[in-house]
Amino acid sequence: MGWVVQQHGAIYASEYGWNAEFEALVAGIVANYLRKRQPQWERCWMAELDGKLVGSVFVVRKSKTVAQLRMLILTPQARGLGLGTRLTDECLAFAREKGYKKMVLWTNSCLDAARHIYAQRGFQRVKSEPYHGFGHDLVGETWALRL
């Protein structure tokens, strides 16, 4: 789980100039997942390439009927191989298997590759609002998919 936090901090700082606020947010999400995880309803997938970790994604329980996709990330060397799509598909299959009726996620408008994956899977943006975070003016987006 430390890898997840470290990679989010390093990749988003390098590629988007985000500050340590973002790494702290991810660390909090990971800590909450570890402390309160409900194994029958929540899951994490880690992607490997040539024996090295290159990606991750989480499904957490938001309510009895709503799952939340969280912290999808791929290292630069793992992009373009279909791993982001595969990780997202694993989340959707798991959520459907568990009987969730809806999946939601929160992202930022500048994360084009992730947003493309979500749109391809049928997610729709249901909310968009500007905010200042991670050292920048950003636009946060909530996406949802009926399962």
Q: What pLDDT, in 10s, does the model give residues 31-77?
A: 999 999 999 999 999 999 999 999 999 999 999 999 999 999 999 99
> What is the bridge-based pairing of β-strands 102-108 and 136-146?
antiparallel
This prediction has a pTM of 0.95
Strands (DSSP E) contained in 83-123 are: 102-108
Per residue in 99-132, pLDDT (tens digit) is 999 999 999 999 999 999 999 999 999 999 999 9
Task: Please give the domain boundaries of the chain with CATH numbers for all domains.
Answer: 39-146 (3.40.630.30)
